[in-house]
A and B are shown apart, each in its own frame.
Chain A
């Protein structure tokens, strides 16, 4: 895109600047629209699984429900508790929201269609997602209230625990594809198994990694059954108890943007990103970003399916799963994958 703006007669600096701003808007605006619609879809799916109707009043089929909710939240009064640490209290939702958007810079929507085609794309995602916990911790501490504080403690312990196994799972994928670049990781999955299936998930050594990645991504985004940070039966609403109005909305949007990001990561790392599921010429006639979006929405369906059906974990069960099951198993698979590649590819 920089080249296009340069052809309009701009200097490189300005062309780069304008191109980056355009790229950000091109990703962020559809993402916000997608988040609004995905909240509606989420509620419809839960409703269908509970034999209810779900939102059906605002607009046709209730399609405008999220926008009505947004307007309601926007018109609310912003309340800052008098005992809160004001600066951090107000920065925290902005941090959460910004970080939820930042990671999208390296997600490839189509072949090469990404904002930043960097060599360390996957590490960048790991770095940004490890920042996500700060919004929660800052909110919990700055609220100066017991329930948000408990929630912040839980959130930080939970995120650190699951990031360890996510790191090992990502290492397996990186070993197999031989690169950290997200676009090249997708390309490495073309015809991966028998030259037919596009995707690391069809590889017997990486399939268990994907299952663990899916569960870890549920824990990382604090979705059910791992939503202990906002367990309403214990902690009122967790870290967002004291928030109202747009600050609350920022958490809400950030949370769903993170869920979508995890769906996109599942797609990119294991399901061949913008590649069609089979390496068969007619399927390539469909544009890549349609395959990408289809896969992302499929994973979002899985996320809300899990939320509608699985009961919440106990906190000790959560910690046990992270440290005593996922960590040793993912470590074992790092050894297995690297050993297999050592014997077959590099010997």
Chain B
């Protein structure tokens, strides 16, 4: 009973907030609805017994990626008229992309149902190894059978990160640079002098 209520609650919320994400006019509202969709998707993951994936979904997408989205979108100067102007022109392309995504999902589910991939049980239930916690099961698989793929993914991400830093980093000659160790090594007697001037004479430094 609770399963059914929870499933329909999460599913309806996910679909509804996904729809409002693309329908709402204000980009900040869009991102906030997107966050709600991520969150409810995590709820669905918990229901199928993939609690590790659910938590990672929240940590990575809601906690980091969406914050950066929001960070950028908040600083936009929003002009609603301009946002609506290109709708008709971009509609065919958008529809095409949507069709491709739909075809991929159908294909993916079909392949999964056919059971030729060793991903889970073909009847659609999640394959949780008996007596193993989620984390242990994923770890045992990731660090044995898929070790090289896993490390390759890590290296690709590292290279991408370094590449982004190298591309955007520029030396600005005129900028002042702080020397932190010099700042920390400063002591009061190097930086200040104690003088006792005569009354009315003032100080020369």
Contacts and interface: CB of A to CB of B under 8 A. Distances in A.
Contacts of B68: 160
A88 interface: yes
B2 interface: yes
Interface in B3-35: 28-29, 32, 35
Contact of A131 (B63, B135, B178): B63
A13 B59 contact: no
Interface stretch (A118-126, A189-197, A198-206, A211-219): A118-126
B64 interface: yes
**Which of B35, B58, B67, B180 has most chain A Cβ within 10 Å?**
B67
B67 A137 contact: yes
Interface of B (DSSP majority class): helix
A126 B2 contact: no
A141 interface: yes
Contacts of B55: 120, 123-124, 126-127
Contact of B180 (A123, A127, A320): A320
A138 B133 CA distance: 36
Contacts of A156: 67, 70-71
A90 to B, nearest CB: 13
Contact of B58 (A85, A131, A153, A180): A131
A119 B67 CA distance: 26
B112 interface: no
B68 to A, nearest CB: 8
Given A137-B74, A141-B28, A119 B59 contact: no
B134 A127 contact: no
B1 interface: yes
Interface string B52-63: 101110110011
Contacts of A153: 71
A212 B63 CA distance: 21
A138 B56 CA distance: 23
Interface in A11-40: 13, 16-17
A230 interface: no
A222 B95 CA distance: 45
Given A120-B52, A120-B55, A123-B52, A130 B71 contact: no
Contacts of A157: 71
Interface of B: 1-2, 28-29, 32, 35, 42, 51-52, 54-56, 58-59, 62-64, 67-68, 70-71, 74, 133-135, 178, 180
Interface of A: 13, 16-17, 85, 88, 118-120, 123-124, 126-128, 130-131, 133-134, 137-138, 141, 149, 152-153, 156-157, 159-160, 163, 179-180, 316, 320
8 contacts: A16-B2, A17-B2, A123-B55, A131-B63, A134-B67, A137-B71, A137-B74, A152-B74
